[in-house]
Chain A
Amino acid sequence: GEQVEQLPSSLIVQEGASVLINCSYTDSASVYFPWYKQEPGKRLQFIIDIRSNMERKQNQRLTLLFDKKTKHLSLHITATQPGDSAIYFCSASRGSGGNYKPTFGKGTSLVVHP
C-alpha cells in the first residue's frame, strides 16, 4: 500500500523565519495530497491541498510544490508566527470512490519561538 514519509520530524525556529517540510510518497496512482495542521490538544484541520495535475499552489504564507516525477512534495511556510506552532501532516490518496483511503505521514512538529 501507499507509504508517506515526512522530513524533518521536527523544526524549531524563531518568529519570522521560513520553513520547508518535505513529503514523499510511493504509490504512483495517488492523485490528491491534502495537508493538515494539528495544534496542541486540538483536532487536525485542513490547510492546503494539491492535485497531481498541478505543480504549485499558494495560500497566503503557505506554498505547496509538487513533483510528480520524483513523487515529492514540499510545503513552504514564510514569515512564521508562534501561532504556526503545530504538527503538520502530509497525506496522499488515489482520489474519490471506494478507493478513497488517505495515508498520512508521521508528521512534522514545528515550534516557532517569539
Chain B
Amino acid sequence: EAAVTQSPRSKVAVTGGKVTLSCHQTNNHDYMYWYRQDTGHGLRLIHYSYVADSTEKGDIPDGYKASRPSQENFSLILELASLSQTAVYFCASTSGVSQNTLYFGAGTRLSVL
C-alpha cells in the first residue's frame, strides 16, 4: 500500500510566523497534493505538483507556497501564518497513470494563535 508520511502531525504557530509542513511518499508517484480540511468546507486544494521542481496553484493558493525538491518530497510553506490558516492539512499522492485514486497522509493539525 502507498505510504505517505506527513510531519509534524500537529503544530501550534504564532500569527506572523513561518510554518513548513512536510510530506514524503515512498511509492514513486509523480503527483502530489496539499489539501486543507475545514468543518463545513470539506477538502480544498491548495497546491499540487506533477513533476519534481515544479508546482501548480490549486483552488485556494493565497497565503501558501509549495516546494517539490524531489519526486518523494512536497512541502507546504506558510510564510506569514494567519488565524484563518488554522485547519487540518492533508498531503496526497497518486501515480496519475491508470488508477488515479489518491493516497493520503495522516494529516497535520495546525493551530495558529
Contact = CB atoms under 8 A, between A and B. Distances in A.
Interface string A85-114: 000010101011110111111110000000
A107 B50 CA distance: 26
A43 B50 CA distance: 22
B39 to A, nearest CB: 9
B100 A95 contact: yes
Given A32-B100, A34-B101, A96-B96, A101 B42 contact: no
Contacts of B101: 34, 46, 49
B30 to A, nearest CB: 10
A100 B31 contact: yes
A103 B59 contact: yes
Contact of B96 (A1, A97, A106): A97
Contacts of B87: none
A43 B90 contact: yes
Contacts of A45: 104
Contact of A103 (B41, B45, B50, B92): B45
B19 interface: no
Q: What class of interface size applies to chain A in its complex with B?
A: 20 to 34
A7 interface: no
B94 interface: yes
Contacts of B41: 106
Interface string B25-51: 000000101010000111111001010
A43 B107 contact: yes
Given A46-B102, A97-B96, A102 B50 contact: no
18 contacts: A32-B100, A34-B102, A43-B90, A43-B104, A43-B107, A44-B43, A44-B92, A45-B104, A46-B101, A46-B103, A49-B101, A95-B100, A100-B50, A100-B94, A100-B100, A101-B56, A104-B42, A106-B42
Given A32-B100, A43-B104, A97-B96, 7 more contacts: A43-B105, A44-B92, A93-B100, A98-B56, A101-B48, A102-B100, A107-B43
